[in-house]
Structure 1
Amino acid sequence: MDRLLLTLLVVAFFGLCVLGMWRGWRRQARAQSVEFAPFPEVPADPGTPVLPAMRGVYVCSTRAGHWQQRIVTRGAGVRSAATLCLYPEGVEVRREGAPEFWIPRESVVDAKLARGMAGKVLGTDSLLVITWRLAGTDIDTGFRGDGTDSYPQWIDALGAGTVEKGSQE
């Protein structure tokens, strides 16, 4: 009887912890839905890809410079298998099981490598981070490619179309 009671208490405690985390995530998503504009949708005809598509994992999006502050609103905080496609007018982030979104080329501020981002920390610079501007707020979007060989091409291609950090849209 004592063992059953203790087991039920542990399961109940675990359930309350999970419930608290879920409610915190939902509250943060509600607060951020006011703070961040919806991510742009992919155009119907984005054009011809500039580089071959890169498969990997969409890690997350954060406020630029704050690598631990994950944006969770509108599905942006869901880590998922993804494909990045670079077009002349922007970057398509196609995610499995989560909404896809578009990073307009004119919004790209920077592209660089990083060691970590919101719960994903690596020993080397293995994350491709695209910094872009959404309604006046700079956002870092992290992607871990299946192979890092194409990162320099992506950084060069995205760097050619960057906007000035001080400019306003």
Structure 2
Amino acid sequence: MDRLALTALVVAVFGLCLWGMWRGWRRQSRAQSVRFPPFPPVPAEPGPVELELAGVYASSTVAGHWQERIVTRGAGVRSAATLRCHRDGIAVARIGAPSFWIPRESLVDVRTAKGIAGKVLGTAGLLVLTWRPGGPDPGEVVVDTGFRGDDVDEYPQWIDKLKGGARA
């Protein structure tokens, strides 16, 4: 009987932990839905693809705060994805999660990094796009979007291409 009670207690504590994490995620999502505008959808006709990179969408965070993950509206879901650079912006085509669009005029910076919420590497293996989801208005919130490409040797080409369109 003692063994059964102990097992039930462990299962109950584990279930309580899962329930608490789920509630925290939902609370954070509701709070962020007011703070962050919805990420723009990918346009129906974005134009020809200039660059393409397959890999994993790691997460989006508040710019400069690499551990403050944005979870609202599906932005916190790590997923396989493809980055596609077009003349007017970057399409983040995610599998199993909402895709979104980063307009060129909203782009602030492009760089590599060692980590972002949900993904930490020993080398600068992440491509990080810093942008304003509400548009180019300097008063808007700024977001870092981290992407781990299958071929990190393509990062310099992406950085060179996008730095020309980045605005501070």
TM bin, normalised by shorter chain, reads over 0.9
Deviations 1:70-119 (A, max 9, x none): 00000000001111000000000011110000000111110000000113
TM-score, reference length from structure 1 = 0.95
Q: Using the alignment, how far apart are the partners of 1:93 and 1:104 within structure 2? A: 11
Deviation at 1:134, TM superposition (A): 2.1
- Structure-2 residue corresponding to 1:71: 70
- Structure-2 residue corresponding to 1:14: 14
- 2:162 aligned residue (147, 151, 158): 158
- Structure-2 residue corresponding to 1:98: 97
- Structure-1 residue corresponding to 2:130: 131
Name the aligned partner's letter for residue 6 of structure 1: L
Q: Secondary structure of 1:150's partner?
A: helix
- Structure-2 residue corresponding to 1:33: 33
Deviation at 1:163, TM superposition (A): 1.1
Deviation at 1:137, TM superposition (A): 1.1
Q: Using the alignment, how far apart are the partners of 1:115 and 1:43 within structure 2? A: 31
Q: Using the alignment, how far apart are the partners of 2:128 and 2:20 within structure 1? A: 31
- Structure-1 residue corresponding to 2:24: 24
- Structure-2 residue corresponding to 1:143: 147
Task: Give runs of ≥4 in structure 1 deviating > 2 Å.
Answer: none
- Structure-2 residue corresponding to 1:5: 5
TM-score, reference length from structure 2 = 0.95
For structure 2, list consecutive stretches of 5 or more residues without a partner in the other structure. Answer: 135-139
Name the aligned partner's letter for residue 103 of structure 2: P
Q: Using the alignment, how far apart are the partners of 1:103 and 1:119 within structure 2? A: 21
Name the aligned partner's letter for residue 6 of structure 2: L
Deviation at 1:147, TM superposition (A): 1.3
Q: Secondary structure of 2:76's partner?
A: coil
Deviation at 1:149, TM superposition (A): 1.1
Q: Using the alignment, how far apart are the partners of 2:8 and 2:151 within structure 1? A: 46
- Structure-1 residue corresponding to 2:137: none
Deviations 1:33-81 (A, max 9, x none): 0000000010000000111x21110000001000000000000000011
For structure 1, list consecutive stretches of 5 or more residues without a partner in the other structure. Answer: 165-169
